[in-house]
């Protein structure tokens, strides 16, 4: 990669390709899911396949202003909209946002979509939202401090930030051995980025997928605290798709509040 490499532009194109390749996180919610959500029977995920506890959300979701941050794909946003929230989805991938518009058009939902970088929410005024919902996506973001600062700014007092993220220890393992043979071979130091690999290694391990970054827990949780949030809940889950699930949590989820 050159000094002029733009990770936002690269990952935008990479996620557009993931849509074309039918990545599971690009598959929009079906009519039956939306129909159930309209009756109050709904759930969404922050980490893996684990439903977020309902008490992490406001007691009254109807009318709540929710920002689904880097959460395109037609999954969480339309479900929350069908459950009664006023939903805005911001994502770096035009094709992921197409998925949200697809469901919104099909189901008659009012879902606002915005193309952008999760570190820059300047399109939104201060205190615009009651909830920021950020499923596992900051693994594709080079630096997290702006994400937490901007999330804090756009939330109203008492607003809730829900974030899902990868356990950084996942990145110490050789990804090819992990995915192809289920072997846990320690290879990388932390912090890690797939940009650290040679072009040939990156192609072998990640193909044309997005660039990933192993953010520390200090950057993930400590960063939220430094931005001014009060942490109220912490959860964990095994990675849903690799052999580390037998030994360690692959995901963490946090709920934090703006005082």
Closest C-alpha to 118, from 89, 95, 96: 89
Question: What was the pLDDT predicted at 192?
Answer: 97
Question: What was the pLDDT predicted at 39?
Answer: 98
Residue 158 lies in a domain: yes
Residue 14 lies in a domain: yes
Q: Which residue is listed with tokens 């201060």? A: 126
Mean pLDDT, the chain cut into blocks of 10 residues (259 residues total): 85 98 97 98 97 97 98 98 98 98 98 98 98 98 98 99 98 93 96 95 93 98 98 97 95 98
CATH code, domain with 79? 3.40.50.150
Residue 233 lies in a domain: yes
Question: What was the pLDDT predicted at 213?
Answer: 98
Residue 202 lies in a domain: no
Q: Which range marks the domain in which residue 43 is found?
A: 7-166+214-257
Residue 191 lies in a domain: no
Question: What was the pLDDT predicted at 1?
Answer: 64
Buried b / exposed e over 139-156, threshold 16 CB at 10 Å, is bbbeebebbbbbbbbbbe
Residue 30 lies in a domain: yes
**Total structural domains within the chain:** 1
Q: Cβ distance 78 to 103 under 8 Å? A: yes
Question: What was the pLDDT predicted at 4?
Answer: 83
Question: What was the pLDDT predicted at 245?
Answer: 96
43: tokens are 């759930």
Residue 19 lies in a domain: yes
Question: What was the pLDDT predicted at 2?
Answer: 61
Residue 190 lies in a domain: no
Q: Which residues contact 5 (CB under 8 A, 6 or more apart)?
A: 195
Q: Model's pTM, two decimal places? A: 0.97
């Amino acid at each position: 990669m050159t000094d002029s490499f733009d990770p936002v532009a690269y990952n935008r194109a990479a996620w557009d390709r993931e849509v074309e390749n039918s990545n599971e996180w690009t598959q929009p919610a079906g009519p039956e899911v939306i129909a159930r959500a309209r009756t109050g029977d709904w759930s969404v995920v922050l980490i893996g396949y684990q439903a977020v506890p309902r008490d992490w959300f406001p007691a009254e979701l109807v009318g709540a202003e929710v920002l689904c941050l880097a959460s395109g794909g037609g999954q969480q946003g339309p479900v929350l909209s069908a459950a009664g929230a006023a939903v805005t989805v911001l994502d770096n991938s035009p094709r992921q946002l197409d998925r949200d518009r697809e469901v919104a058009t099909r189901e008659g939902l009012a879902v606002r979509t915005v193309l952008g970088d999760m570190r820059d929410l300047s399109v939104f005024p201060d205190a615009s939202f009651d909830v920021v919902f950020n499923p596992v996506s900051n693994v594709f973001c080079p630096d997290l401090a702006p994400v937490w600062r901007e999330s804090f700014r756009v939330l109203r007092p008492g607003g809730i930030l829900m974030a899902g993220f990868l356990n950084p220890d996942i990145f110490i393992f050789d990804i090819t051995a992990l995915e192809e043979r289920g072997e846990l071979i320690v290879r990388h130091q932390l912090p890690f980025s797939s940009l650290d690999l040679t072009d040939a290694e990156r192609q072998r391990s990640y193909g044309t997928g997005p660039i990933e970054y192993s953010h520390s827990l200090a950057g993930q949780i400590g960063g939220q605290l430094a931005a001014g949030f009060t942490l109220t809940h912490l959860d964990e889950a095994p990675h849903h798709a690799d052999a580390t699930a037998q030994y360690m949590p692959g995901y963490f989820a946090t709920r934090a509040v703006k005082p």
